[in-house]
Structure 1
């Protein structure tokens, strides 16, 4: 299990509590804990990852995800070297083409070529202190303990293949239904083989938009903004070849056209309402969601395991009090059963 923290407000007290949240994740034995890297809705990710590092002794810590536009690869490499040294080898980076983080600064999502060049440069700089990116030399004297784990976020067939080609891991955002799971794993394996890699070297992790609450209906309502977000950016490249039922094709195309960045991840916002009006809420819930009480989560995780999902990124949003309650309930009432 990997746990994503999305906490938009930050004070000195929040800093202490985020460190304690990381310590809790560490105690429960989670593989990784990360924070999103977008200045559009969140605070500076590097500072928050540092706090995660201070609170852990076993759990991997890092950004989930960053992108190839808003951080120069020299800065990223130096940051990763620092965190990796602090944690004695537990730094990670997840990278994707970019959504709100890049659109809010006037950029389009990065091309696959740019993303691959960025990853190659960061790895080279960490290994040798030197790399090239966008036609220029990149250098740093930062000291790294060795290779840093890099995961590639993928929500379409060509990104899945690229993740198989270059990633240590892949964060699969295509969905959780059995047909989508099998198709996604096939694309990752195909990409690895095309580059002469052993597919077993690429760990597949499935992104789950999740809310855990004692009241199942409350959990369902709270997860809707997150579902509205992933429905948009996973389908912005079109519905063709993405295993979308034909009856939803027109509705998904209209949803992507009318999606409002201004209401990105807003509870009760226009995107959530549009998703409902177009009849896509149940589709999104089945494809990406896990919302309910602990018993609901245990059943959902068991079903996903039967479909081939062995590793999951749990994307959680809310203030720190809510995140603390979620993680504690997860560790005490879900993990103890699914393990």
Structure 2
């Protein structure tokens, strides 16, 4: 059993759907700066970061994110491009009290799926029940290890096996990608760790709808793109006898908020280029011309999105507008309204550009404060 002194009895599990804690109940949280006519909503905001800050600065960032009212802190599993995801999540676990802590995302290719289950069970104990397992295919960083992004079947096997391990079950599992022989977690979490799937393509969206507690949908911010992704989730959920209402669905967004609109847009360029390279279907949905898409794809190269410098230069302003959460505070709030028009009530934000903590502050003051109560 997990040592009882490392758990907080009664802490709600799962995502935004299960835990509607607002800044009003968080001591020291950001006070909303409302404009006339503003109406409070049930929107929740998560934060996604890479572990690229020195440990002491990362701790300060995690603590500040909690105070500002972010409900989730996701740390990317970025192969060799950032610090080790579980070490940084452990730092956050011992230096925060409320914010949920997740891998954003991990996958079954660089370590055994059961090792991820054990890591998350340990993180859950250290954080008092705040761990969330975010899984997906992975991206270009795995290629430098001689690997490839995980097939949908590998992610499915990881979810199925880890859910059983989280219950303390002893099992043998003979999958194509995940194999266990009479295995069990000797220190399982008190409650099963929630599983979120990061998804862009139709098969991963359907998998998330069928098996996950929540999804991180990475298709940009254009409402028609999000609606198309939600349809994929809905089909997967329906096939498993579930509904969208059973899931915590978050729009995973990348962007920059600044008074200088041009600077904000330029900082968000790398992600604008990622969409046409990785999931060009959404370019067609958003009305991006095939010529502009091909111009990005011709020059796209690099181990992860920040390294695709030439492709970022080729990204058009239209791509930046439709795929990133960037611009002035008023412009970004308008984009948030577009996301909310799809029915999504959970937004995950990755701050791009220089001064990461400053970017988080600007997003919280200029955007989040409009919604939190």
Give a deviation string over 1:173-221, Cα, whole Å, max 9, x none.
1232222222222221111110112331111111111112232211111
How do 1:17-32 and structure 2 match up within 5 A?
17-32=57-72
Give a deviation string over 1:80-105, Cα, whole Å, max 9, x none.
01111112211012111111232221
2:206 to 151, 154, 161: 161
Q: Is the 8 A contact 1:177 1:307 kept in 2?
A: no
C-alpha distance in structure 1 between counterparts of 2:275 and 2:50, whole Å: 15
SS at match of 1:153: strand
Give a deviation string over 1:210-263, Cα, whole Å, max 9, x none.
11223221111111122223432223xxx3996253x63355356446521257
How do 1:1-339 and structure 2 match up within 5 A?
1-8=45-52, 10=53, 14-131=54-171, 132=173, 133=175, 134-137=178-181, 138-235=183-280, 239=281, 243=285, 245=287, 248-249=289-290, 251-252=292-293, 255-256=296-297, 258-262=299-303, 264-266=305-307, 269-273=309-313, 275-276=314-315, 281-317=316-352, 322-339=355-372
Moved over 4 A (4+): none
SS at match of 2:115: helix
Q: For this pair of structures, how many residues does the alignment match?
A: 323
* Structure 1 gap segments, 5+ residues each: none
Q: Is the 8 A contact 1:68 1:110 kept in 2?
A: yes
Q: Is the 8 A contact 1:157 1:242 kept in 2?
A: no
Per the TM alignment, residue 307 of structure 1 is displaced from its structure 2 partner at its CA by 4.0
**TM-score normalized by the length of structure 1:** 0.87
RMSD: 2.4
**TM-score normalized by the length of structure 2:** 0.79
Per the TM alignment, residue 5 of structure 1 is displaced from its structure 2 partner at its CA by 1.4
* Structure 2 gap segments, 5+ residues each: 1-44
Give a deviation string over 1:120-146, Cα, whole Å, max 9, x none.
111111112544253442443123111
